[in-house]
Amino acid sequence: MIGEQFILAAQLLTILPLPSMSQVSPADLGRSMRYYPLVGLGLGTMLAAVQYSLSHWLPALPVATIALVLLVILSGALHMDGFADMCDGFYKGRNKTEILSIMKDSHSGAMAVVGIACLFALKLSFLWSLPQAILPRTLILMPAAGRWAMVLLASSSSYARSEGGTAKGYVDHAGLKEAAIAALSIGLAGGLILHGTGLVILLGVSLFALIFRQYVISKIGGVTGDVLGACGEMSECIFLLGICLASGGR
């Protein structure tokens, strides 16, 4: 069962070829969220390996850019798409109905484009400013931090759409146990990789996710898949900002 739930998490969060699962219940989807930080650590390890290899051949800026692009590719741009939809919906919508309707539209508006550009620019600037010695460890933890924030948000919220949606099973069935297991894994990883500094920054990411939760609930009364993805993307940015502040840049 543990292996199946981990595979379910990896199937959603990555484009990696994995065995298909039969008879997946909504409860299985929710339980799979407890392994999101572990999937994030796997993605981060790939990024760190690529960064370490390319750093011998390329300057820091293109290496950081390649690492970020690789994460977008490996995750199927799933969370970036959610962030784009949220930018459009929360900017244009005047009430819950309008916001949810705009977010469901598959077309991207101007605010989605602007939001993605700003998000990528911030991530890139933070990564590029980091000392090379800390960059691999940062890349390992960054995706895990973002996916931990998604678990925290889902496990403490209700689903916003009354008619249901693709993320309803995750939100409805992710609870305290999923949050506790995910918190344990990200906490251990943060402590082992970045020690006390990592734990403090992860606490900051958690606080951001809870503040973000209150804002979203005030707007649409709950969360959606797009909101979860947006939270993950912004939490990665907050994590990088924390690392940048802690390291003092170059």
Answering whether pTM is above 0.75, one says yes
pLDDT at 248 over 90: no
pLDDT at 108: 84
Does 181 score more than 70 pLDDT?
yes
Q: What is the maximal distance between C-alpha atoms in the chain?
A: 52
pLDDT, average across residues 232-249: 93
Mean pLDDT of 131-159: 96
What's the mean pLDDT in 59-86?
A: 95
166 pLDDT tier (thresholds 50, 70, 90):
confident
Does residue 147 contact residue 232 with C-beta atoms inside 8 Å? yes
The answer to whether 64 and 127 have CB atoms below 8 angstroms apart is yes
**Whole-angstrom distance, CA of residue 102 vs CA of residue 19:** 34
So what's the pLDDT on residue 211? Answer: 98
Secondary structure (3-state) at 106? coil
Any idea which of 81-90, 124-133, 163-172, 200-209 has the lowest mean pLDDT? 163-172
Question: Is the pLDDT assigned to residue 76 strictly greater than 80?
Answer: yes
- Tell me what the pLDDT averaged over the chain comes to: 94
Q: What are phi and psi of 130, to 5 degrees?
A: -75, 145
pLDDT classification of 196: cutoffs 50, 70, 90: very high
Calculate mean pLDDT across residues 31-49: 97
**How many separate domains does the chain show?**
1
pLDDT confidence bin for 67, thresholds 50/70/90: very high
Bigger pLDDT: 189 vs 17: 189
Residue 112 half-sphere exposure, CB side, CA atoms within 13 Å? Answer: 18
Range of the domain at 163: 2-247
Cα 63-67-68 angle, rounded to 5 deg? 120
pLDDT band at 250 (very low <50, low <70, confident <90, very high): low
Q: In the chain, helix, strand, coil percent, each to 5?
A: 80, 0, 20
pLDDT band at 175 (very low <50, low <70, confident <90, very high): very high
Dihedral of the CA atoms 229, 233, 205, 155 (nearest 10)?
A: 10
Q: How confident is the model at residue 195 (pLDDT cuts 50, 70, 90)?
A: very high
Round to whole Å and give the CA distance between 130 and 235: 18
